[in-house]
Amino acid sequence: MLDRLQADLKTSMLARDAARTQVLRMALAAYKNEAVAKGLGPQGVLVEVDALAVFKRLVKSREDSVAQFEKVGQVDRAAQERAEIELLKPYLPAMLEGQALEGAVRAAIALSGATARKDLGLVMKALQAAHGGTIDGKAASALVQSLLG
């Protein structure tokens, strides 16, 4: 992940793509900060799970910003945040959607023995264990609640 990020940053700098370069520099800084936090030092290489967590946090932060900017009517700032999300998404694994997500949720419900909405935590834990970073927590939670509701 680190090698890919650094190579993409170099390419965007050579192409003089200022917007992409800015986002990738920020992502590289977040990656290095996480490596330092994990005790690996600024040149450390994160395991894949930790690297994905960094990118998920970056995307989540921007999604929250989009909602806030839209709430106060700053459409141009929301659009800028969306553009940054699109630049970060290629670093995330493909998310389960539609029937694949529903199948995974149904399997997690069966595995955890959930019968009511109060078992949401058990189902989500089983989903995370089975599918890790390929599950959108919000979508999965809503689907679990509708199936158990």
Q: What is the CATH number of the domain that holds 132?
A: 1.10.10
The predicted pLDDT at position 67 comes to 93
- What number of other Cβ atoms are within 10 A of residue 74's Cβ? 15
Asked whether the whole model's pTM tops 0.75, one would answer no
Residue type for 20, please? R
Domain count of the fold of the chain:
2
Domain with 55, as residue range(s), is 2-91
C-alpha 1/C-alpha 35 separation (Å) is: 13
Q: What is the CATH number of the domain that holds 19?
A: 1.10.1510.10
If asked whether residues 86 and 108 sit together in one domain, one would say no
Select from 77, 76, 146, 84 the least CA-distant residue to 117.
146
For 117-142, what is each residue's pLDDT tens digit?
A: 888 888 888 888 887 777 877 888 88
The mean pLDDT value for 16-23 works out to: 94
Select from 125, 122, 114 the least CA-distant residue to 147.
114
If asked whether residues 86 and 102 sit together in one domain, one would say no
If asked whether residues 26 and 86 sit together in one domain, one would say yes
If asked whether residues 14 and 77 sit together in one domain, one would say yes
If asked whether residues 106 and 85 sit together in one domain, one would say no
If asked whether residues 82 and 25 sit together in one domain, one would say yes
Residues sharing a CB contact under 8 Å with residue 55, sequence separation 6 or more, in sequence order? 27, 88, 91, 92
For 59-103, what is each residue's pLDDT tens digit?
A: 999 999 999 999 999 999 999 999 999 999 888 887 778 888 888
If asked whether residues 47 and 24 sit together in one domain, one would say yes
Residues sharing a CB contact under 8 Å with residue 99, sequence separation 6 or more, in sequence order? none
If asked whether residues 84 and 103 sit together in one domain, one would say no
If asked whether residues 72 and 128 sit together in one domain, one would say no
Q: What tokens does 144 get?
A: 């679990």
Residue type for 14, please? L
